[in-house]
Amino acid sequence: MYAFDIERPSTIADAVKAMGAEDAQALSGGQTLIPTLKQRLAMPSKLVSLTGIDEMKGICVDDRGRICIGGATTHAEVAAMEGYPALSALAANIGDPAVRNRGTIGGSLANNDPSACYPAAALASNATIITNSREIAADDYFQGMFDTALEEGEIITEVKMPVPEAASYMKFEQPASRFALVGAFVAKFSDGVRVAITGASNEGVFRWAEAEAALSDNFSADALEGLSLSGDNMISDIHGSGAYRAHLAAVMTKRAVAAAG
Amino acid sequence: MAVEYDTGDFVATIDKLEEIADINGFAARRAESEKRGKLRGLGVNCYIEACGIAPSNLVGQLGARAGLYDAATVRVNATGSISVMVGAHSHGQGHETAFPQVVAEMLGIDASQIDIVHGDTSKIPFGMGTYGSRSLAVCGSAMVKATEKIIAKAKKIAAHLMEASEADIELKDGQFTVAGTDKSVAWGDVTLAAYVPHNYPLEEIEPGLEETAFYDPSNFTYPAGAYACEVEVDPETGKVTIESFAAADDFGNIINPMIVDGQVHGGLAQGIGQALLENCVYDENGQLLSGSYMDYAMPRADDVPFYKVDHSCQTPCTHNPLGVKGCGEAGAIGSPPAVINAVIDALQSGGHNVTHLDMPATPSRVWAAMQG
């Protein structure tokens, strides 16, 4: 680890101010960032811890029925909440207890790891990402592997998730890390079905439009028969080829639909 | 120099395996798996290995540049407590538990009186270490020989204290008695006399009670067993899950059954890891791709089943004093073929013409094999 300064602001305003320093880096649980620092793969001048900001913590429901989760809310808190069982189940299966008690939803979405679980939930749920300066629709937020619409120094303060009529997340675990080798989040709303696939693509999390159309007509696993994704732009590594990931994406989507009922 | 399998009842382990693995019930279990859309396979493997390493003259002929004896020093203190300095290091094998059991039984004293000292070369005699399922078979045998020397000397002291003939002295339950009389002295009286030799046969033997022995085995030991693994393969993803694993081993005499169970459990987890998970991968430039536990899959508790382990088949080794064969490696050696045989059996039951799989049988590899 290289030397760095750390600030622990207690308000969003102070956090934004602290993030103004050159090479400042937000720290929100640190379940990816701290191992990265330990391996000397990053050299921030200053870490700005977001987990001491009370206005960024906690879960509530807004007047439109959306689940509103503070950016500094841990996976364990989301796992324990009521109101969106598929999201809670997803959070309960991230990493291990230590990760779930430190890692946060804001940290995960800001990092946008291509194998992370939360991006699939946010995209399939048509979430709105609230930052210190604006609101970003999930469809505009995820811009590629480890790439998001966040500007330099911008902080995710809250995530608002519409609650689907039916939803489920199915994760096929990479055997070593147990991140998603492929994960499929299926969310059925009154106006249509959204399907988000994580872990698979070189472009990060994405919506599977063909499956969405088929499921919007007929929400059953049978509706997906014959549908497939191309493995061409899928991640290929020691755990599986692009073709294998494309295949798994279809299998996991079917299973998610079956589980959502 | 020729060596031969000294002993083993191999059919007995296979019979025991059939029983504990419930081989006869497999067809019904397969049918039940198929109802859930899973392919079930049964794999069996019989192994025999050369352990208790090793006769020094033999390994010398084979090119080894070391002797493969081991050594132990038994130091009896004035109070009767004992420190045993052993050449075989203990790092999870349970020597601190099993070794004192042997000495305690030989002397008839409580095992809590005995301390095992290992791993410090300034304190222990020159030993060759812990590997090759050799600790108890080789180092334990040295400890037995050193303890026999202790008993022989202690009997001389006891004979002197009781004014009896050494040939009439018996040691039982920590008491020295004179055959045919009611005379006795306790273990602690003898050990105190050894260090406070006011009434002691000084013209015959030295004070003190400490003996060292080296033991060089005359043959390898040959643990053997029969293993059965049942797996389910998810035909849509290629993921393999171990549904049951049964191991019937012949380790000769058993000193501590719980430690033997644990050794087999650990070995099976290691073998299952090798068969299904652990993959060391380099790219074409020599860069290690599986360089951390994020990519190198170690077996975890939920990767393995509750094992059925049996070691009731016991044909004692004929050439070491404990009749033990060793159990440290068996699980890791016997299990990978059983796992892979089971995976291939499952795939064939699904109509896939697969006769070979490279380890580890990861989901992507199994899926690729099913694509033909």
Span A26-49, pLDDT tens digits: 999 999 999 999 999 999 999 999
Q: Does the distance separating the beta carbons of A244 and B290 come in below 8 Å?
A: no
pLDDT given for residue B188 in this prediction = 97
How far, in Å, CA of B124 to CA of B6, rounded? 31
A220-A226-A230-A236 Cα dihedral, nearest 10 degrees: 70
Give the number of other CB atoms < 10 A from CB of residue B13.
26
The answer to whether A79 touches A40, Cβ cutoff 8 Å, is no
Which residue of chain B has the CA closest to A174?
B295
Give the number of other CB atoms < 10 A from CB of residue A85.
12
B37-B42-B43-B46 Cα dihedral, nearest 10 degrees: 170
* Angle between helix A209-217 and A242-260 (nearest 10): 20
Q: In this complex, how many residue pairs, one in chain A and one in chain B, have their CB atoms less than 8 Å apart?
A: 40
Angle ∠(A221,A222,A228) on CA atoms, nearest 5: 80
Give the number of other CB atoms < 10 A from CB of residue A151.
9
Nearest CB among B297, B367, B368 relative to A176 is that of B297
pLDDT given for residue A258 in this prediction = 98
How far, in Å, CA of B266 to CA of B328, rounded? 9
Shortest distance, CA B59 to any CA of chain A (angstroms): 39
Amino acid at B106: M
Q: What are phi and psi of B178, to 5 degrees?
A: -105, 120
Cα dihedral A112, A113, A114, A118 sign: negative
Q: Does the distance separating the beta carbons of A240 and B294 come in below 8 Å?
A: no
Q: For tokens 């790219």, name the residue.
A: B283
Contacts of B294 in chain A (CB under 8 A): 176-177, 179
Q: Could you tell me which residues come within 8 angstroms of residue B124 by beta carbon, excluding any fewer than 6 positions away?
A: B71, B73, B85, B86, B87, B117, B118
Q: Does the distance separating the beta carbons of B363 and A240 come in below 8 Å?
A: yes
pLDDT beyond 90 at B77? yes
pLDDT beyond 60 at B24? yes
The answer to whether B107 touches B174, Cβ cutoff 8 Å, is yes
Q: Does the distance separating the beta carbons of A177 and B294 come in below 8 Å?
A: yes
Q: Average pLDDT per run of 10 along chain A, which is 261 residues long?
A: 96 97 95 94 96 97 97 98 98 96 98 97 98 98 97 97 98 97 98 98 98 98 97 96 98 98 79
Q: pLDDT confidence of B1, banded at 50, 70, 90?
A: low
pLDDT beyond 80 at B228? yes
Q: A135-137 and A142-144: which strand pairing?
A: unpaired
Contacts of A244 in chain B (CB under 8 A): 364, 367-368
Q: B24 exposed, middle or buried (CB, 10 Å; 0-12, 13-18, 19+)?
A: exposed
pLDDT, tens digit (0-9, with 9 covering 90-100), for B244-271? 999 999 999 999 999 999 999 999 999 9
Interface of B with A in 211-240 (CB under 8 A): 236-237, 239
pLDDT, tens digit (0-9, with 9 covering 90-100), for B323-341? 999 999 999 999 999 999 9
How far, in Å, CA of A150 to CA of A130, rounded? 10
pLDDT, tens digit (0-9, with 9 covering 90-100), for B145-189? 999 999 999 999 999 999 999 999 999 999 999 999 999 999 999
How far, in Å, CA of A87 to CA of B255, rounded? 52
The pTM is what? 0.93
Q: Does the distance separating the beta carbons of A251 and B364 come in below 8 Å?
A: no
Q: From the candidates B233, B234, B237, B366, which should be mutated to test the interface with A, based on the most A CB atoms within 10 A?
A: B237
Q: Does the distance separating the beta carbons of A177 and B363 come in below 8 Å?
A: no
pLDDT beyond 90 at B372? no
Q: Tell me which residues of chain A have a C-beta less than 8 Å from any C-beta of chain B.
A: 172, 175-177, 179, 181, 237-241, 244, 247-248, 251
Shortest distance, CA A175 to any CA of chain B (angstroms): 6
Contacts of B279 in chain A (CB under 8 A): 238
Q: pLDDT confidence of B76, banded at 50, 70, 90?
A: very high
The answer to whether B259 touches B90, Cβ cutoff 8 Å, is no
Nearest CB among A175, A177, A251 relative to B362 is that of A175
Contacts of B287 in chain A (CB under 8 A): none
Cα dihedral A235, A239, A245, A249 sign: negative
Instruction: Please determine, for the modelled complex, whether the ipTM score is greater than 0.95.
Output: no
